[in-house]
Chains A and B, each alone.
Chain A
Amino acid sequence: AQKITQTQPGMFVQEKEAVTLDCTYDTSDPSYGLFWYKQPSSGEMIFLIYQGSYDQQNATEGRYSLNFQKARKSANLVISASQLGDSAMYFCAMREGTGGGNKLTFGTGTQLKVEL
């Protein structure tokens, strides 16, 4: 089974609208962390937001928020007030707290295109 699943290969959103990028995960480890990264066409991976498995509240970071539903094993990224500069590939990733070391396991990504 895939550890990280991103089911949306591509998404379009109008400028200034909100968009949700889906991510589901699979782990039996009670301690884990979930990350979202942005990768523009230039190639660098930019850290956006982090959610720990024991965090009681959903993480927020500026226009980014993480809709964490532990029972459903989902960690969707919500981008509010989309901007043209948000057009990029977005990756969801997981670090498992024990047994998985500190490595990140990434999904296949979602290509987001923000339109005027």
Chain B
Amino acid sequence: GAGVSQSPRYKVAKRGQDVALRCDPISGHVSLFWYQQALGQGPEFLTYFQNEAQLDKSGLPSDRFFAERPEGSVSTLKIQRTQQEDSAVYLCASSLGTMGPQHFGDGTRLSIL
């Protein structure tokens, strides 16, 4: 499809395991964002890429969270040594330019047991 694609759709992991979440943005979109959405809350910003450059990572909650976009297209959000409080929906969004509306994927629902 032409939209933002995220995988997996659901991920269950045991506490302490590492997880990797993938985002495939809309083709040609320069900007890519990751957000975390806790149950019943609005999304909260994690990090932002312009092409392959990570310009803002101020929202990453700890050094266990790491994101990359090495070729300026697909991005991966990695969480090391997962904890129960990491359970949330992780949303990826992309936009054509730096100021246009952001288009979101369906999210990855992460559950840490």
A interface list, Cβ under 8 A from B: 4, 33, 35, 37, 42-47, 50, 91, 93, 95, 97, 101-109
Given known contacts A42-B106, A107-B42, is B31 in contact with A47 (CB within 8 Å)? no
B interface list, Cβ under 8 A from A: 31, 33, 35, 41-45, 48, 55-56, 58-59, 89, 91, 93, 95, 98-99, 101-107, 109
Q: Are A35's CB and B42's CB within 8 A?
A: no
Q: Are A47's CB and B102's CB within 8 A?
A: yes
Question: How many residue pairs between the two chains, A and B, have CB atoms under 8 Å in the bound complex?
Answer: 61
Task: Give chain B residues whose Cβ lies under 8 Å from the Cβ of A42.
Answer: 106
Given known contacts A44-B106, A107-B42, is B101 in contact with A102 (CB within 8 Å)? no
Q: Are A45's CB and B93's CB within 8 A?
A: yes
A102: which of B31, B42, B44 is its contact (CB, 8 Å)? B31
B104: which of A33, A44, A105, A107 is its contact (CB, 8 Å)? A44
Q: Are B48's CB and A101's CB within 8 A?
A: yes
CB distance from B88 to the nearest CB of A (A): 12
B59: which of A37, A103, A107 is its contact (CB, 8 Å)? A103
Given known contacts A44-B106, A103-B45, A107-B42, is B89 in contact with A35 (CB within 8 Å)? no
